[in-house]
Amino acid sequence: RQSCPRASLTDIAAMAVRPHVLFRHPGAGADFGALAMSALDAPEGPRQMLGVTCQRVSYASGHGFCLHVERGVFNVYTAVVLDETPKAGTSIKLEGLPSRTRTSPDGRIGAVTVFVIGDDYAADFSTRTTLTDLGSGDQIGELEQFSTWRDGARIRSSDFNFWGVTFARDGNTFYAALRTAGKTYLVRGELALRRLTVLRENVECPSLSPDNR
């Protein structure tokens, strides 16, 4: 089918103040992967197309991430910051294939995980997970740069891989998966301390319910 034109800023703003869902358009054709909005009270009604395509998208409290691929001889991967409109803003270059993204409930922090080629850690795969301040676009740090603790002792290894970030509502706590030495662990992160604590084995891709229980 024909591509849907980008909606006007007026139409986007009008829908943004109503209960709505923000999503990747799944239909075949020119709009595949396009970022779109639809009103929750009229899901079969008009969709507002936002003029950007995403491999992954996350959004909360007026901020979010759209992970975008510019295809060519060498693909270029970026994380596009979305504002309260939501409109595409700052573009951050990614060093690998986009895998996951999550935005904290307060909209302050965004997490991006990419698959990285060229890291020789004798592991099955290599990921890089980065936290970003969505207000400024500044990088807070990669999870591999945080200190990791297990049973009261700090642990370190060159084969650490983190992914699957989910944020609690307190603006400081988050959870993620860690894989090292062939095993996967659930870790709890403390943003203010840049600290990760191993909680249990055999857990990956955690997700908190809206009430955090």
89 Cα distance to chain centroid: 16
Q: Give 123's pLDDT tier (boundaries 50, 70, 90).
A: low
pLDDT tens sequence across 8-51: 888 888 888 889 999 998 877 778 889 999 999 988 888 888 88
Q: What is the pLDDT of residue 4?
A: 56
Q: What is the DSSP string of 94-107?
A: -SSEEEEEEE-TTS
CA distances from 23 to 26, 86, 137, 140, 160 (A): 9, 12, 22, 26, 32
Q: What is the largest CA-CA distance in the chain?
A: 59
pLDDT tens sequence across 150-163: 999 999 999 999 99
Contacts of 136 (CB under 8 A, 6+ apart): none
Four-point Cα dihedral 169, 102, 206, 27, nearest 10: 130
Residue whose pair of structure tokens reads 């986009």 in the numeric block: 98
pLDDT tens sequence across 84-106: 878 778 889 998 999 999 999 99
Residue 1 has pLDDT above 50, yes or no: no
Q: What is the pLDDT of residue 179?
A: 95
